[in-house]
């Protein structure tokens, strides 16, 4: 028996003994039996919980909403999940994939600013009071650059790439031309792991879904461990495994192998376009991921008050990203809430 497993077994036995006022049991066989019994029961509970969570997350009905809205955090997530922008009286669309597609592909400034503002009106702007309550409970927490939050700038590679006559290895058009058999709103893999994602036929979503499958590969590696060990080494490790998959898939060699990238050139200009594209994704994201948690920590420390939520948010956006809002913002706006990681309480730095 390895040392870590023995320590866990010992801790379980000690805990059980102390709780029941019994003397310390040092019998390893009995400890193993205890852990086996616990694991058998926990697996059933784990499965039931996972199925219930999936059903709830994929079926946001009024009945399920009432069940879900038993705490403030769930209310914030529900607002974000159900938010829709009405582009006309009979055309109301969600963030994914519709608004994301507009932000990525439109070059109409009026359309972009309208979508940008309307998304924040239906998501973040209705959250401030709830978010303030969420913090209290937990303490007792420009230019339009091709993305709803300007966290990645790669959708502007067409106008930013230094060598206009060379491509930047974006295979979106080839995916569409081939009707690439990969795009499903609900992709099921090996029947026990599921991805809930509204996809669009784009190079970026091809990378994203491979990132998500990286998570699944990691799940598969520890699926036969006891329930106590069915998790990543740390929260950041899962993301690292996902990015290994996405970065590997995005190389010219792999894209050629699967028939999506036809260009056989390996010239310096194409390489530089590709590297700039990657930098617009990965380097541009670093200050955004950092400032979100800077803002969150400031809120939970009490330095940022509900009255200054939005002002302090844009102060950080300007300081670290060098971006400003495309339209005038008010104290009554709550632009942080227009980002899922704020609405759901999900940290970037883990």
Q: Which residues contact 229 (CB under 8 A, 6 or more apart)?
A: 222
- Hey, is 202 helix, strand or coil? coil
User: To 5 degrees, how large is the angle CA 135–CA 138–CA 141?
Assistant: 45
Question: Are the C-beta atoms of residues 211 and 242 closer than 8 Å to each other?
Answer: yes
215, 238, 254, 341: the active-site residue: 341
Active site residue 212: yes
Question: Are the C-beta atoms of residues 298 and 320 closer than 8 Å to each other?
Answer: no
DSSP at 323: -
φ, ψ for residue 23 (rounded to 5)? -75, 155
Query: In the chain, helix, strand, coil percent, each to 5?
Result: 65, 5, 30
212, 239, 269, 311: the active-site residue: 212
CA distance 334 to 311: 9
Specify burial of residue 226 (Cβ count, 10 A radius: 0-12, 13-18, 19+).
Answer: middle
88: enclosing H helix or E strand: strand 85-88
CA distance 192 to 236: 23
- Hey, is 150 helix, strand or coil? coil
Question: Are the C-beta atoms of residues 154 and 280 closer than 8 Å to each other?
Answer: yes
Q: Which residues contact 102 (CB under 8 A, 6 or more apart)?
A: 111, 112, 115
Token pair of 19 as six digits: 């709780």
Active site residue 341: yes
- On the question of a cis peptide bond just before residue 97, with omega within 30 degrees of 0, the verdict is yes
Q: Which positions are catalytic? A: 212, 341
């Amino acid at each position: 028996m390895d040392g870590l497993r023995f320590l866990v077994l010992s801790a379980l036995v000690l805990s059980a003994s102390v709780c029941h006022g019994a003397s310390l049991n040092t019998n390893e066989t009995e400890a193993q039996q205890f852990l086996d019994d616990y694991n058998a029961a926990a697996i059933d509970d784990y499965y039931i919980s996972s199925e219930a969570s999936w059903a709830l997350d994929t079926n946001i009905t009024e009945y399920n909403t009432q069940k879900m809205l038993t705490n403030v955090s769930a209310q914030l997530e529900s607002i974000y999940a159900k938010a829709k922008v009405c582009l006309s009286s009979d055309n109301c669309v969600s963030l994914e994939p519709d608004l994301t597609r507009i932000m990525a592909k439109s070059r109409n400034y009026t359309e972009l600013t309208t979508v940008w503002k309307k998304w924040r009106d239906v998501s973040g702007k209705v959250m401030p009071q709830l978010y303030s309550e969420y913090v209290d409970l937990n303490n007792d927490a420009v230019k339009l650059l091709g993305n709803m939050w300007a966290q990645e700038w790669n959708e502007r590679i067409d106008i930013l790439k230094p060598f206009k006559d060379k491509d930047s290895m974006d295979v979106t058009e080839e995916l569409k031309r081939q009707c690439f058999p990969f795009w499903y709103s609900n992709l099921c893999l090996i029947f026990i792991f599921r991805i809930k994602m509204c996809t669009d036929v784009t190079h970026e979503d091809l990378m994203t879904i491979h990132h998500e499958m990286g998570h699944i590969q990691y799940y598969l590696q520890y699926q036969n461990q006891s329930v106590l060990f069915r998790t990543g080494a740390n929260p950041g490790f899962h993301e690292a495994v996902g990015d290994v998959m996405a970065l590997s898939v995005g190389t010219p060699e792999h894209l050629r192998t699967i028939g999506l990238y036809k260009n056989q050139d390996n010239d310096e200009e194409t390489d530089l376009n590709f590297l700039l594209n990657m930098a617009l994704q990965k380097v541009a994201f670093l200050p955004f991921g950092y400032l979100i948690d800077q803002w969150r920590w400031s809120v939970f420390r009490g330095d940022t008050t509900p009255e200054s939520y939005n002002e302090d948010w844009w102060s950080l956006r300007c300081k670290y990203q060098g971006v400003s809002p495309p339209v005038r913002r008010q104290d009554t706006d709550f632009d942080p809430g227009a980002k899922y990681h704020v609405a759901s309480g999900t940290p970037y730095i883990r």
